[in-house]
Amino acid sequence: MERDQRVGDNHALLYASELSHNYNLPLQVFYFYPNSFRFRTARYELFLLKGLAEVDWRLKQLNIPFHFIRGSLEDEVVNFAQAEKLGCAVVDFSPLKEKREWRLKVSQALSRLNVSLVEVDAHNIVPCWTASDKQEYSARTIRSKLYRHLNEFARELPPISVQAANLYEKVKKKDSINWIEIIESASMDQTVAEVTWALPGEAAAMEALEDFLLKINPRVCYYAGKKNDPNAKVISNLSPYFNFGMLSPLRSLLVAQGAAHLKGRENINAFIEESFVRRELSDNFCYYNHNYDNINGAPSWAQATLRAHQDDKRVKLYSKNQLEKGKTYDDLWNASQLQLVYDGKLHGFLRMYWAKKILEWTTCATEALSIAIYLNDKYNLDGNDPNGYVGCMWSICGVHDQGWKERPVFGKIRYMNYKGCQRKFDVRQFVEQYPEAVEECKNAGGKSCVS
C-alpha cells in the first residue's frame, strides 16, 4: 500500500484479498515509510501517519496484519519476502517518477526471488493505461475516452472479507504498531503546522464527502455557480483525501451520481468533471510525460513562446524568499500565499492567479515553475500530487490549454490579472481576512483594496 491508503473501495487490496482467497495463502499489508519525502512538514506527516494508524486498525478488524516498515526499500522488501515466504506482491499505482522508480526497484528485487509484482490502479476510476495509451491533449480529448469506459468501471466493489482464522494464524503479529511512538519520534518541520479543517483518515474522508454531497442543503448545491468564488466556500475540500488515497474516487463518483436528482444535475456534473475528468487527466499527463515537472514537458508552442519572451522586462522581480513570505505589491497575491501557508489549501481559482503571477515576477518560466511547485508542495496539504504538477504546468507552461493573444512576458500563455479577479469575486472581502497581506502590499509600494 503506497498511494491508496484505505481499506474500503481499494481495488489493489481487493485484488490481493482475492488472490489470497483463491490460493489459500495468507494476506498481509505492507507500507514502506520512505526517508526521502521532499517536505517532512508536520502538516503532511501527521495527516499521513494518523491516516495509516486508522488503516492498521481497520485491517485488524479483518484479521489482516499491517506492517509499517522503514529503512532501505529494496532490502526491506527482500527481507520481508524471504521471511514471510511471499507468493505474490500487489502494489497500487502512481504515475510520479520517484514512485514509479520504487515500484520498479521492488519488482526487480522480487523477481530475483521469483516473486511477481502486480500493479493495480486503485486511484483512477478508469485505470490510467486503459483510459488512454498516450498523453492526451486536453480535457476535451480524454473526456469521451473516460466516459466510454464508465459503465464498466463505475460499479460497487465488494468489501474485503475477513481473513480466515487458519490463514491469519500463519502471519499473526506478536506486537501491535505503536503509533504514538512513531508519531512522537518522527522528525517534522513544525513551522508548517497541521490543519484543522481536514481530519485525517478514511472515516473523516467519508464524512467530508457526505458533508459536501448529502446533508440538507449541502455545498454541492451551489457548486456550478460558485466554485470559482473563493469567498463562497462551496468547493468540496476533498483533495487531501483523494491524494492520500483515503477516499476512493469511485466512491465519490457513485455517491455523487446517486445524489444528482436531489442536488441538481448541473452541480453534480460540474463536480464530476473536476473530480473524475480533470483529476484523471492529471494522472494521464504525468504517466505519459516524463517531463511533467519541467518546461520540457510543455507543448512546443508554449516552449517557443516562453523562450521568445524570456528576456522581456519584468515589472517587478521577487525572490523565492519574498514570495514565500507574501511580500509583494499585490494584496490579493499576498493573501493567497498566506491562505496557502496558514490553511494548507489555496482556493482552486486563486491557484491559477497565484501561479501566473509567479511567472510575471521571476526571471524565466523555469524559475517560476520551480518556485510554484516548491510552494505548492510544501504548503498545500493536497500537494505532491499529479494535480499539482499539472496545475502549475497549466498556469505557467500552457499544458492542456491553447495559445492566447500575445503579450509581454507571458507570450501566448493565458494571462490573468487583478481586474479579472475583481470581476469574478469580491477581492476586498477575501483580502480583508489577511491583514498582513495588506501591510506587506503597502510596504512593497502597492495600493491595497483595503484602506
Ligand X SMILES: Cc1cc2nc3c(=O)[nH]c(=O)nc-3n(C[C@H](O)[C@H](O)[C@H](O)COP(=O)(O)OP(=O)(O)OC[C@H]3O[C@@H](n4cnc5c(N)ncnc54)[C@H](O)[C@@H]3O)c2cc1C
Binding residues for ligand X, rule: CB under 6 A, are 227, 235-239, 242-243, 274-275, 278-279, 282, 348, 351-352, 355, 376, 380, 382-383, 385, 387-388, 391-392, 394-395
The residue among 65 and 391 lying less far from ligand X, judged by its C-beta, is 391
Smallest distance, ligand X to C-beta of residue 119, A: 21
Smallest distance, ligand X to C-beta of residue 154, A: 16
Nearest one of 265, 282, 258, 309 to 413, comparing CA atoms: 309
Smallest distance, ligand X to C-beta of residue 258, A: 17
Nearest 5 degrees, angle CA 382-CA 374-CA 386?
Answer: 45
The residue among 89 and 341 lying less far from ligand X, judged by its C-beta, is 341
* CA gyration radius, the chain: 23
The residue among 121 and 274 lying less far from ligand X, judged by its C-beta, is 274
Closest-approach residue to ligand X (CB):
391
CA gap 414, 398 in Å, rounded: 7
Smallest distance, ligand X to C-beta of residue 394, A: 6
The residue among 110 and 375 lying less far from ligand X, judged by its C-beta, is 375
The residue among 27 and 332 lying less far from ligand X, judged by its C-beta, is 332
Smallest distance, ligand X to C-beta of residue 389, A: 8
The residue among 3 and 160 lying less far from ligand X, judged by its C-beta, is 3
306 and 157 Cβ atoms separated by less than 8 Å: no
Smallest distance, ligand X to C-beta of residue 174, A: 39
Smallest distance, ligand X to C-beta of residue 275, A: 4
The residue among 26 and 200 lying less far from ligand X, judged by its C-beta, is 200
The residue among 51 and 391 lying less far from ligand X, judged by its C-beta, is 391
The residue among 362 and 376 lying less far from ligand X, judged by its C-beta, is 376
Phi-psi region of 268 (alpha: psi -120 to 50; beta: other; left: phi over 0): alpha
Smallest distance, ligand X to C-beta of residue 116, A: 32
Smallest distance, ligand X to C-beta of residue 286, A: 11
